[in-house]
Every structure is written in structure tokens, then in C-alpha cells.
Structure 1
Amino acid sequence: MSGPDPARAATIVDVARAAGVSRQTVTRAVHDMAGISPATRARVLAAARDLNYHPSRFGRGLVKPAARTLGLLVGDLTNPYYAELASTVLRLAAGRGWNVVMAEPGSAADLAGGADAVVAFTGVAFDPPSPAAPNLPVVEIDPPRTHPGHGRVEFEREGATREAVRHLLGRGVRRPVVLDLLGSTSRGRAFVEAFRAQGVDPFVADRGAGWDDVRPHAPDAVVAFNDLDGFRLLRDLARAGVAVPGQVRVVGVDGLGVGEFVTPRLSTLAIDLAEVARSALDLVVELRGDRSTDRGTDPVRVVAHRFVARDST
């Protein structure tokens, strides 16, 4: 087998091939990490010297960081909801002297060797690469289901939901429509229960329903699944010549900052993203300080939404 092309710099693959080991073993050897025998380390370093191999500064920073490295999994950065939270985590983590490596949920395994802890805000259940990192501290934000051993930042929406319903009923709403993920225990259920507790039975439609879909029910209010759907409804109502809030009132969920800049401004269930990020980072510290498996209960922080009444209601 021929050696590397002398016209190009040697790579980690070249060293691994010459030493007869994996790339991970090369990484451990050149960065003086535990997990390999002295003989293997010596063989790898000899191959690296022979090939004049120099690990990249970027790779060295990920493998052996000077500061704590936090892996941040974010569901969809094209959705401002995730982007706003990610931006807040980055800012607060930097204030604590932490490095942050971001990845999509499908790349979770890539974080196992390069992160000291993981914060996951994906909207889906997160199963970490436990065989690769059995003691990796993981904190999930608003997870759809609990995972033993993980820290959790849970969102409490019920109080703000009841306040939003009282606000709508106080303005004469009697035929609300709630858009939700049908067939799941989602955020819309809290709105339905709050309306029913006040003697009003809302019509429930799929979150993707548009104004043309719900118009036959003659709604005087629509609760969108999230703010993005609320913005879409405001657009559709404007195109249909329906006055908001005169004929139909609209409420979103998430509290996106851009809701202040649409017309009319969207009423919403908002949450303090700085408090969410701080809670997640505090849980990371707590988990790193307690690796025991018999802790009894997983660490949890609860952050409550608040109802913000704007022009759309």
C-alpha cells in the first residue's frame, strides 16, 4: 500500500493507517488523552513524527478545550423560537466562560466526544449516545417525554392559558377555535380545558388549518398552535378582509420577539428565554457535580409562561 502523497500534508487518516489504529486512537494519542496503552501511544506518535503530521488547532480545541464545552442541540434554527433560545444560551454560556458547539438532533452522536454536557431543545424526545458517553450530563428543555437521568427545564403554561381564556371571554368571545396537533397531548388541550371550565366548548382543528378551513364554524377567536401559525393566520385574515380583533381575535404561543412588529401585534403566551437558558445551564452544573445514579429524582426547573395581551385580541 502506498503512503500519503508527499505533495499534501498528512492527515489523521494517514497516521491511523500507518499505525494500524482508528482515528479516535490517534486523537487520544496526540492529545495525551486516557484510554490507550503506552505502547499504542508510542506507535501512534512515531507514525505521526514520520509523516510530519500536525493536528489542526480547530480539532485540538474541540478535543481538549481550555474551557468547558457545551453541546447545544437545537431542533430547527429556521424557526425563530429555537433561534432565539439558542442565541440566549450562547450569550449566557459565553458569560460563564464556556465554549458552545451546536448541532442538529441527528448529529447528537458527534457531540459525545467533544462536549462536557449537552443541552437539548429539539421538540422531540432526545436519546443520547449513551454507549459512547454513559455519564454525559444531559439537560432537556420542554421535552415531550421524560428520560431517566436527564435534567429538565419544564414549561408551565396552564396559568397563562387560563389568563388568556379569561381575557378572550371578557371581550365577548363565545365561538373559539383551537388549533392543535390532533391525537397528541399538546398545548392546545390546556386551552380546550380552560374554555370548557368557563362553559364554552371550542372547536378543535389541526394546527395546519387555515382561515378557509375554520371559517364555516364562524369563529370569533382562533388560538394558534404557535406564534408562527398566528402570523400566518393574521396574514390570511387580512387577505380575506376580516378585521382583527374586530371580527376575529387571534392568540399565539411562544412569545417571539417579532410579534411586536407585525400588524396587528400578536397576543401570545410568552416565556422568559433568559430564565430558561439560565435554568438549563444551572442544571448542567448540578448534573456535573452529581454523577450518581441513585439520586432518587432527576433535577428539574420549571419556568412559567405569561399571557401578553396585544392588538390582536
Structure 2
Amino acid sequence: MAGPAGLTPGDAGDPAGRATILDVAAAAGVSRQTVTRAMNGMEGISAATKKRVLAAAEALAYRPSRFGRGLVLGGEQQLGLIVDDLRNPYSPALAAAVVRAAAGRGWNVMLADIALTGDADRMVEALGVQTDAVVGYFGKRAPEWIALLGSVPVVELDPSGPVTGAAVHLDPGDAVERLVEHLLAAGVRHPVVLDAAGPDLPSRRATRMRAAFADRGLHVAVEPVAEPTAERAAAATERLLRQDPRPDAVLAFNDVMALGVLAACRRAGVDVPGEVRVVGVDGLPLGALVAPALTTLEVDVDEVARQALDLAVGMVAGRTPRSGADAERTVRHRLLLRESA
């Protein structure tokens, strides 16, 4: 790459030893103004020059200064939040918790919904340009999207694969054990897990539930549902209620699906919890408003947001490593017993 030999980040005067815009300009053999144009997607430079500048920036782990970017984005630091489908009430609940936590630290939040956008890659890449750190649900595409974000600190929420950086894990293990003990003590003998269909079946939640029953000598059927929606879950429940033996407990992948189970049971004249016990996961406030009130494995989204912000702010400030045990936190679900079980 063109530029003076021996140049290292910080040679241009950054007291923290971070790469500066002058470092990138020297490495790419261009002017400071050209770096600014390339980093901000402005016109006036060729595609080849832009590519060379971005490659130099990536090699030096360069992040645009808050002073320069503040002319466009404002002086406060920006947090990118990636959610998976705002139509699921869990996503806006999490987003609200993140906004509250971020506001308490003087950060703004930029939201990206990877399920509803037509070009998720472009949206993720844009967050990398416009934010100081990114948190959210990356799913199976975590490796490629984290690569798109470049040097931006990233905190994965509930990672579905190997963790390459910082993460907040959601652990339902203890809550599942308590739930299974409760259901067996109540006489459940034919439970079914309604699982959200995906590239890897069964899901980790379904696997954990099935294992907890198996440890106690009871086989559990796992019924995949094409989409994690109330409508799909209701249709699957209608089929299950026609089986012999009929399930006496339905454990849904999330609360939204559990609401669909409740609706199907009501239409079929099946008493809940007298004939079938119903359980969800997430702890949505809506679950307390239906009749019967929904038993669920609740996760504290405010705690998830606090842990994620703590990691993100720590990484930006250089206090927290970007990977390893010190860059991972765990938030545990709790069993919230209500009328449906």
C-alpha cells in the first residue's frame, strides 16, 4: 500500500496512539480531504481511490473522529441497534430498554431491522459508518456482518454460534429446569414443544426443554412452525389438538407463539390449564393481560440493555477487551408462573 515506510498509528499526533486521518491519508497516498470523502461516501473521488482509502483505514483500524463526524451526526456518541423484526413485540420492548440505557449514558441510538429491510447488508454496513458501537441480534450471519462493521466495537445479543467478540448471553437453563419440575408435578405426561423453524432444528430453546424432560425419563415431541408468529402457532396447535394422545402441555418458542396456542385452544373449547397447560418465553407484558394469563420464561430486557451498553461503552473507552471472558455477560431467564400453567 502506498505511503511512507515505517508509519504506525499515532505518528500524526493522537495521544492515545490511535490511527488518525493523517495516518490513513499517508498510507493510501491521498490527501486528508480525499479520506474524508471516502469515509463519508461523498462524491468527487474514483471508485479505485475510495477502495484504497477504505483498505488503508481498515488496516489501521481507523475510526473517524467524533469532532469531524459531529458536524453531521451531532456531538453525542451513536449506538447502532440491530433487531430482528419489529412486528414481534419483543423487539420494540428491547429497543425501548436500549434507548433508556443509552440515554442515561449520553448516547443516541440508531435502529436497524434486519427482517424488514430489503438490503440487510447495506443497512449493517451503514451502521458501521455512522455509529461508535453496535449491539443486537446477528443470528447465523454474525461472522459476515461483524466483518462488514470493520473496526466498530460489536456486542452480540444471544449469539447463536461461536462468539468472536463481545456478547450478552441469554440463559434459560435454570428456568427451564424449574418449569419442567413444575409441569411433571402437575401431572403432565404428553408435552409438546412448538419450535420456530430455522436453518438448524431444533432450536437451542427446544433442545434445552427436550433435554430437561429426557433427564426425567419423559420423551417430548418437537413440532416445527414455519414462522414464529401467533397465526402459525395457532394453526399448528389445531393440528396437535386432533392427535391421539392429545398434548397436555404446549411449550412455545416465544410468547407470541404461545398467544396463538391460547387462541387455538379457546376456539376448540379446550380448557387451559385444565386440559392443556401453555407456556411461552420472553416475558412480554402482553402475557399478563390475556385470559388465562400466560406462564412464561421471562428475560429482563432492561438488564440485557444495561449489560450490552456497559460492554459497548467500555470497548469504546478502551476499558473492556473486544473478546474473551471479560467481554461476555449472561442474563438468566426466570420462571413466571401464571394461570396458563
Instruction: Tell whether the structures are fold-level matches, with TM greater than 0.5.
Output: yes
Match of 1:67 in 2: 76
Match of 1:138 in 2: 154
Match of 1:121 in 2: 137
Contact 2:127 2:149 in 1 (8 A): no
For 1:132 and 1:174, the matched residues in 2 are separated by 48
Measure how far apart 1:184 and its partner are. Answer: 3.5
SS in 1 for 2:239: helix
Match of 1:186 in 2: 204
What amino acid sits opposite 1:242 in the alignment?
A: V
Match of 1:276 in 2: 304
Matching residue within 159, 163, 168 for 2:178: 163
Q: How high is the TM-score relative to the length of structure 1?
A: 0.77
SS in 1 for 2:86: coil
Contact 2:125 2:149 in 1 (8 A): no
1:309 aligns with 2:327: no
Contact 2:195 2:223 in 1 (8 A): yes
Structure 1 segment 1-313 matched on structure 2, within 5 A: 40=33, 63-105=72-114, 106=120, 107-127=123-143, 133-148=149-164, 150-181=165-196, 183-207=201-225, 208=232, 210-215=236-241, 216=243, 217-290=245-318, 297=325, 299-313=327-341
Contact 2:287 2:293 in 1 (8 A): yes
For 2:240 and 2:338, the matched residues in 1 are separated by 23
What amino acid sits opposite 1:192 in the alignment?
A: R
For 1:229 and 1:172, the matched residues in 2 are separated by 23
Deviations 1:2-36 (A, max 9, x none): xxxxxxxxxxxxxxxxxxxxxxxxxxxxxxx7655
CA RMSD of aligned residues (A): 2.8
For 1:246 and 1:130, the matched residues in 2 are separated by 48
Contact 2:168 2:330 in 1 (8 A): yes
What amino acid sits opposite 1:302 in the alignment?
A: T
What amino acid sits opposite 2:127 in the alignment?
A: L
Measure how far apart 1:206 and its partner are. Answer: 1.3
Deviations 1:241-270 (A, max 9, x none): 000001100000111111010111100000
Measure how far apart 1:162 and its partner are. Answer: 0.6
Aligned length: 266
Measure how far apart 1:128 and its partner are. Answer: 5.7
SS in 2 for 1:112: helix
Work out which of the two has the higher radius of gyration on C-alpha atoms and give 1 or 2.
1
Percent identity between matched residues is 41
Contact 2:193 2:206 in 1 (8 A): yes
What amino acid sits opposite 2:176 in the alignment?
A: T
What amino acid sits opposite 1:259 in the alignment?
A: G
Question: More displaced, 213-222 or 233-242?
Answer: 213-222
SS in 2 for 1:154: strand
Measure how far apart 1:289 and its partner are. Answer: 3.5
Contact 1:108 1:128 in 2 (8 A): no
Measure how far apart 1:101 and its partner are. Answer: 1.0
What runs of 5+ residues in structure 2 fail to find an aligned partner?
Answer: 1-20, 38-67, 115-119, 226-231
Q: How high is the TM-score relative to the length of structure 2?
A: 0.71
For 2:141 and 2:71, the matched residues in 1 are separated by 26
Contact 2:320 2:326 in 1 (8 A): no
Contact 1:152 1:299 in 2 (8 A): yes
Contact 1:255 1:271 in 2 (8 A): yes
What amino acid sits opposite 2:152 in the alignment?
A: L
Question: More displaced, 127-136 or 254-263?
Answer: 127-136
For 1:271 and 1:228, the matched residues in 2 are separated by 14
